[in-house]
Amino acid sequence: MKKSIKLIALSLFVFVSTSLATAQDKAQQIEQLLSKYNEYVQFNGSALVAENGKVIFKKGFGSANMEWNIPNQPDTKFRLGSISKQFTALLIVKLAEEGKLKLDVPIRTYLPDYPKENGDKITIHHLLTHTSGIPNYTNAPNFFKDKARNPYTPEAFVKTFSALALEFTPGEKFNYSNSGYFLLGYIIEKVTGKTYEQNLQEVIFTPLKMVNSGYDHSDVILKNRAAGYEKQGKKIVNAAYIDMSIPYAAGSLYSTVEDLFLWDQALYTNKLLSQKSTELLFKPYIKAWNGFYGYGWSSYDTENGDKKLSIIEHGGGINGFNTIISRIPENKNLVVLLNNTGGTVLSEMNTAIRAILYNQPFNQPKKSLALDLLDIYADKGALAGTEAYKKLKNNPTYTIKEGDMNRVGYQLLQDGKKKEAIEVFKINVETFPKSGNVYDSLGEAYLADGDKKMAIANYKKSVELDPTNEGGKKILQEIMTK
């Protein structure tokens, strides 16, 4: 009997030791990967990775504050952007579970002052799934210039979009809309008699001991808060100011990678919701992007060797910040990446980390060609920029990243360099011919340059590739009717 016990103990020790070594090896690979992304100016933030519900890696990269050279840490607080939506969705589902509201009734049930024509057609379910047809307020012309810096009450801001014509019949299709989630926050306040912020604290953050999470306010002194920056080619600048009453229930929260791990783990339990109610969050209600959309979460399947993995995740972007939380419930695996230098390739990093977790091959980071091209196009003009592109595009050190190239194009457009912007967007079209977004951007540049014919051609191609591009449809209609 003693020999058996010793054998079992030895086997357990070997198993635990092997598992620990494997986790350490994966952690080392993740650190090397993210260090290289940091070196290439593509990741400046904090990361956390969990495997089988256990944290195997957490670390900060780059600076939380560049003026003072303060490093990012696992407890650095980042603005989350649209990751906030999953918290808003849970609050709504919690109220439904408690019988305080219904998901399938018109929103005028809770907002009687909302315009009747639209308010009687739209349900809370439509808001949660981005199928309401309400125009996305952040897509409004000159939104960031005219409104984003000004404080609003929820009631006052709802009036800025509530009377707008719907873009389609509610429930007909998916079209991502921050307006819907803003309305959900307002409904939460009306139903509970408490602010959205109070509800977050009482229902989620306090019970889960998420002490480093909350509703962000620019005027509050917040310990360990990261400053937000944006990239202009290789140059880093302070992000434009946004009043946090604007993103509200669609994107106003801050958190840390450590707190988001607590959030992830709680979703496997009944601490906040019953199992039945929790399932409502992740149910694939409507086809969206490359998968489906639930309530504040998107989902899709991906190949992993000879089997499929079901992913539940959401990204976020707000002035100076880019974020992603990606869950694989089957294995309780988690990737959280929070970045404070604006838009970057977090999905690419997430894919590589997932490959490491499952012992699959992955692509090594490469320098973004867009960052080098911006300076050449800006300083030497369109011809020199395009010549540099032709020389560098086959260099194995570089790669063309759609988002980076798009941002460079818009930076040039903003600086009045229209011909140069067109050339950059043409590179994106050549590289990513199946992306509706790149044609939309090229159409916008041609329109700014006064080339109506080419603008129409590219907007048409954009809408053909991406039928959900309501903004492109609207601009195309305006051009063709003038």
Tell me which H or E stretch contains 60.
strand 54-60
Q: How far is CA 244 from CA 185, 195, 229, 251, in A?
A: 13, 14, 16, 8
* Cα–Cα dist 60/48, whole Å: 9
Rounded to 10 degrees, the C-alpha dihedral 375/405/423/234 comes to 0
Rounded to 10 degrees, the C-alpha dihedral 384/390/393/396 comes to -100
Tell me 319's DSSP state: T
* Lookup result for tokens 């039928």: 467
Pairing verdict, β 398-399 and 367-368: parallel
3-state class (DSSP) for residue 150 = coil
Cα–Cα nearest to 340, from 37, 23, 64, 41: 64
Asked whether the beta carbons of 340 and 64 are under 8 A apart, the reply is: yes
In this structure, what token pair is assigned to residue 327?
């869950």
In this structure, what token pair is assigned to residue 157?
């801001």
* Cα–Cα dist 340/318, whole Å: 10
* Cα–Cα dist 470/174, whole Å: 11
Quick one: how far is CA 265 from the chain centroid?
20
Q: Please report, in tens digits, the pLDDT of each residue of the chain (482 residues total).
A: 455 666 655 555 555 445 566 889 999 999 999 999 999 999 999 999 999 999 999 999 999 999 999 999 999 999 999 999 999 999 999 999 999 999 999 999 999 999 999 999 999 999 999 999 999 999 888 888 888 999 999 999 999 999 999 999 999 999 999 999 999 999 999 999 999 999 999 999 999 999 999 999 999 999 999 999 998 877 899 999 999 999 999 999 999 999 999 999 999 999 999 999 999 999 999 999 889 999 999 999 998 877 899 999 999 999 999 999 999 999 999 999 999 999 999 999 999 999 999 999 999 999 999 988 998 999 999 999 999 999 998 999 999 989 889 989 999 998 999 999 999 999 999 999 999 999 999 999 999 999 999 999 999 999 999 887 878 888 988 898 87
* Cα–Cα dist 24/31, whole Å: 10
In this structure, what token pair is assigned to residue 248?
């509200």
Beta bridge partners of 77: 225
- Residue 460: CB atoms within 10 A of its CB come to 16
Asked whether the beta carbons of 373 and 388 are under 8 A apart, the reply is: yes
Tell me 123's DSSP state: B
Cα–Cα nearest to 321, from 413, 414, 247: 247
Three-class SS of 160-194:
CCCCCCCCCCCCCCCCCCHHHHHHHHHHHHHHHCC
Domains along the chain with CATH numbers: 81-357 (3.40.710.10), 367-481 (1.25.40.10)
pLDDT one-digit tens code per residue, 303-313: 887 789 999 99
3-state class (DSSP) for residue 396 = coil
Quick one: how far is CA 14 from the chain centroid?
41
Asked whether the beta carbons of 210 and 262 are under 8 A apart, the reply is: yes
Share of the chain above pLDDT 70, in %: 96
* Cα–Cα dist 365/254, whole Å: 28
